[in-house]
Copies of this chain bind each other. A is one copy, B any other.
Amino acid sequence: MADEMGIFETMYTMRAMRRLKPDPVPLETIRKILEAGTQAPSGQNLQAWAFVVLQDPDKKKFFQERYHKAILDRFGEGMTPDPNDTSSFARTVRSALHLAEHMHEAPVLLLVCGKRDWPFAVPKDKRVGHAPPSYGSIYPCVQNILLACRALGLGASLTTMHQMFEDELHQRVGIPDDYGVVATIPIGFPSGKFGPVKRRPAPDVTHFDTWGQHQPA
């Protein structure tokens, strides 16, 4: 791995890539990305993740239709900013809508699942219905997967809107009840270019010893 991409360079150029080419992703690349995911830490090292690689056109189309509807239900039909608006917000909305309309064209929709497990901070008498997946044990794996995609030149983005049709998704893909779907990651070669992300400076949200104290003692 002598000439692999540097860790900071990878992090600093990992934009959400929502415009993807339909070209297939080689199986060995998918394997490599998922193996990178499994290097992540998890509570008690339980490694309670599971991956579903959707490549079947019918299943991807099913996913896209439900996802598109969920996005419109959530953000409203007014999700069409003025085409002359070049603000960062308008561009993000346009690319999110593009993704919702074209998700089935991505060569891979990756469902990252996690075993359901009540957090120990939830008292026994408050445990009603399904436990959530153990997010803290799955999202580090999700982030490794996103970074691995970037390092291998693949576009990806982190989506969670499947929550709005999760029962149906479970049924369609055969996911057992004791697993939840944590994130859906559309993966493919990017149409656009990787580039720097824009973030608020970390010092603005860094506190030393006491909340509100923005400089060290």
Contacts and interface: CB of A to CB of B under 8 A. Distances in A.
Shortest 6 CB-CB distances between A and B: which pairs? A139-B139, A4-B6, A121-B163, A135-B135, A174-B211, A143-B143
Interface residues of A, number: 79
Contacts of A9: 1, 4
B1 A45 contact: no
A212 B11 CA distance: 33
For chain A, what secondary structure do more than half of its interface residues adopt (helix, strand, loop), or is it mixed?
mixed
Interface string A180-210: 0011000000000000010111110111111
Interface in A92-107: 92
Interface string A10-49: 1110101000000000010001001111111101010101
Interface of A: 1-2, 4-12, 14, 16, 27, 31, 34-41, 43, 45, 47, 49-56, 59, 74, 92, 119-121, 135-136, 139-140, 142-144, 146-148, 151, 157-158, 160, 163-164, 166, 173-176, 182-183, 197, 199-203, 205-212, 216-217
